[in-house]
Structure formats: structure tokens, C-alpha cells
Amino acid sequence: MTRKLGPALVAADLAPRRLQVAVRGSAKSSHRRNDLRLVAVEEILFAEMEDPDLVGVFADAEIDRLAAVFGLTAEEVAELYRPVALRPAAASGPLRRRGRLTRAR
Amino acid sequence: MTALIALNNRSGVYGRGGATLPAVDAWCTTHFGRDALQFCQVLTARFNAGSVVLRAISGNRLLVRARLYQAGVHIATVALRFDPPRRQSHLSWFVVAPVGRRGATTRHLLQNILLIQRDCGIRRITLQAALTHGAYVWAVHGFLPVPNAAWPALAGRLAARFVAVASNFTASQVAAVDGLLQSPDRRALRAVAALALPFGGTTLGRHLLMGEKWDGELDFSDEPSALIYFRRIGLMP
């Protein structure tokens, strides 16, 4: 029988005793159930990149290097890789406050 | 039977066991230069705790599956294979729990893994870029399709997808993108991913790569790829 993860465990401090619980909970069925609640890393990576990274995902030097490799003109580089920002700061809403990863004390 | 090491980095308490622990210790000492416990300490650095399953297999390879905890919460799971004789590692499973969103979980974990890869003499990381954003995300992390011959097939799929949206762009833009997609050079994937033309609320590069799948590699001997990766995981500004 596996123990159901609940708010108590989520909120628990990670004392060694509780770590043992986490380790013992490594039965196959437990893994499967937990993994269903996970989000693939690609989603997380994308979230971590944040919007400004959508424009200019590479440094200018890398763009210039790619332009040289593929024979792009300065006009094409400007057109394809350096357009205006997708969401100007003035048009965007206020930044959302991020939640804490650690408990407030 | 595998070796299991559980660490609580906050209290300094750890436990380890498993019939193959001596073999894992020997592998770590030989290829990593430190024992299995220190291997796990590097892997879980900056995380509160972790439980790591390790198994040395044929060919002097080591399989690792780690579950990481932050403030008592399971925050990430990673599975990877180290193959020092071939100087490569394969990232086979890497998931971060929703609580890790918009934090530094991924960057810290990739940095920890990179430290181990460095000490093990790893020169190449392989993975399969897939799922919703993977084809785009790993491209902007510096990964390239492997083998080289896989790029034309991927480019063909991207070209078919671009045809459907080409009417939204100018003739010169279409010609430039077509030129990239017809290039036999696999680095064109990087040029496609970087396309910053706004489309559908995102960029054209991301739109084209969304939902795609390709086998990728990051070769540290390729300086541009390595620099992109180091910047992306926060090791360089």
C-alpha cells in the first residue's frame, strides 16, 4: 500500500525521517502516480526563458555568425532576427509576483 | 539490484545502500575522481535533498536517476546515462514539477550535471528533443540534430509547416526562410529557431518547431554550441 501524497507532506519540513518516507515511497506505482503530476522539462524551460527571450534567443554575435554561414544580408538579418519586441513594456501588464519556493518563517 | 543514496543537504544526514554500491563507488572513483556520495552531493547541490538511484552497467557506463526536493517538496526528476569511454552522456528523462516553474531549478540542475560531465571527461550530450516545446527549447540551448543526415527530413517537415503560414510574410522574408530550410547545413535549425518574426502571438521560429521531434547532440568541442549552452544555463552572461 502506498501512501497518498497530501498537503501535509508538501508542507512538511524535510527532516531525515521524512526523507526516509520519500525514499521508501519509490515503489513503481508511486513513481507512476507522481510522474503524472510532473510537467515535462521543455515546458519549464520555456517558462523560465520568459517573454523577452522570445526575441533575441541568441546573442548578436551568434546571429551574425549564422548570417555569415547562410549568406544573409544585413537587411535580412534585421528583418528576420531583430524585429520590434513582441510585447512592448508599456503594453504589457504588471509583473506577477512570484511565489516563494521556500516557506516564509 | 541498484545502489541508492539519499541525501538531506540541510541537515547533512545521508543514507546509502544496495548490493551494487561497491561497483558504483568504484565507477565514481575511477571516472569521477570521487566516491558515489560525493557524486550525489554535486548532483544535488543547491537543492535541499535528493534520492539517487545509481547502477553501473556494461561498457563502464553509469545509469543515474535522481529525485530532487526543495523545502520538502519533490521538485524535479532526472535520468541520464554517463558513458566516459565514449566521452558522452545521454539525457533521457528530465522533468520538473510545476512548483519549479519560473525558478532556477532547471538551470541549477543542468549546471550540477555539467560539473559531473566535466569531471567525467564528457564531451557530448545527446537527447531527444520532443514534446510541446522541446524541439524549440533544445535548439536554443545549442543542441543540433544528429546525425547530420537527419536535418533534411526535419527541414522538410518545417518547410511544409511554413508553407501553410507563408502568406503572412513578405516575399523577401519567405525567400530567406525558404533558403534556410533548403540548406543542407544542420545549423540552419538554429537559424530557424532564432527567427524572431512575430506570428501567432509568438515567434515564427518557435511556431515552426512547436511539437516537432528530433534527436539532438551538444558537442562541447563545438565552441559556438558550447557558448550558447553555457549562456542559456546561466554560466555565462
Q: What is the pLDDT of residues B156-178, one digit of tens each?
A: 999 999 999 999 999 999 999 99
Note the ipTM here: 0.86
> Are residue A56 and residue A27 in the same domain, yes or no?
no
Record the cell numbers describing residue B150, joined without a space.
537527419
Q: Give how far Cα B187 sits from Cα of A95, B194, B213, B226, Å.
A: 35, 11, 16, 14
**Residue B131 in contact with residue B95, Cβ under 8 Å?**
no
Q: Which residue has the cell 558513458?
A: B83
B122, B145, B162 - which closes a domain = B122
Q: For residue B139, give the chain A residue with the closest CA.
A: A57
Domain count of the fold of chain B: 2
B63 three-class SS: strand
Check pLDDT > 70 for residue A100. no
Question: Which has more pLDDT, B194 or A91?
Answer: B194
Helix (H) or strand (E) holding A30: helix A28-36
Residues B96, B186: Cα–Cα separation, whole Å: 29
> Are residue B162 and residue B231 in the same domain, yes or no?
yes
What's chain B's length in residues?
A: 237
B97, B122, B147 - which closes a domain = B122
Please state whether B50 falls in left (phi above 0), alpha (psi between -120 and 50) or beta. Answer: beta
> Are residue B155 and residue B98 in the same domain, yes or no?
no
Tell me the backbone φ, ψ of residue B10, rounded to 5 degrees.
Answer: -80, -40
B69 three-class SS: strand
Residues B229, B110: Cα–Cα separation, whole Å: 10
Q: For B183-232, how does the pLDDT look when each residue is reduced to its tens digit (9 = 90+)?
A: 999 999 999 999 999 998 888 999 999 889 999 999 999 999 999 999 98
Check pLDDT > 50 for residue B72. yes
For residue A98, give the DSSP letter: P
Q: Give how far Cα A45 sits from Cα of A105, B57, B140, B187, Å.
A: 29, 30, 10, 21
Record the cell numbers describing residue A29, joined without a space.
506505482
Q: Using CB atoms, which residue from B72, B173, B196 is nearest to A10?
A: B72
The Cα of A103 is separated from the nearest Cα of chain B by a number of Å equal to 7
pLDDT given for residue B100 in this prediction:
72
B89, B122, B155 - which closes a domain = B122
**Which residues in B133-162 are b (16+ Cβ under 10 Å) and which e?**
bbbbbbbbbbbbbbeeebbeebbebbbebb
For residue B184, give the DSSP letter: S
Q: Do residue A38 and residue B137 have CB atoms under 8 angstroms apart?
A: no
Q: What is the largest CA-CA distance in chain A?
A: 65
Q: Using CB atoms, which residue from B101, B173, B193 is nearest to A57?
A: B193
Within 8 A by CB and 6+ apart from A101, the residues are: B70, B71, B75, B99, B100, B103
Q: Global pTM?
A: 0.79
Asked if residue A19 is part of any domain, the answer here is yes
Contact residues on chain A for B172, CB-CB shorter than 8 A? 75-76, 79
The rounded mean pLDDT for chain B is 93
Range of the domain at B187: 129-220+227-237
Q: For A45-88, how does the pLDDT look when each residue is reduced to its tens digit (9 = 90+)?
A: 555 544 444 456 888 899 999 999 999 999 999 999 976 554 54
Report the amino acid identity of residue B95. V
> Are residue B190 and residue B142 in the same domain, yes or no?
yes
Question: Which has more pLDDT, B34 or A56?
Answer: B34
Domain count of the fold of chain A: 2
The Cα of A89 is separated from the nearest Cα of chain B by a number of Å equal to 15
Range of the domain at A10: 1-38
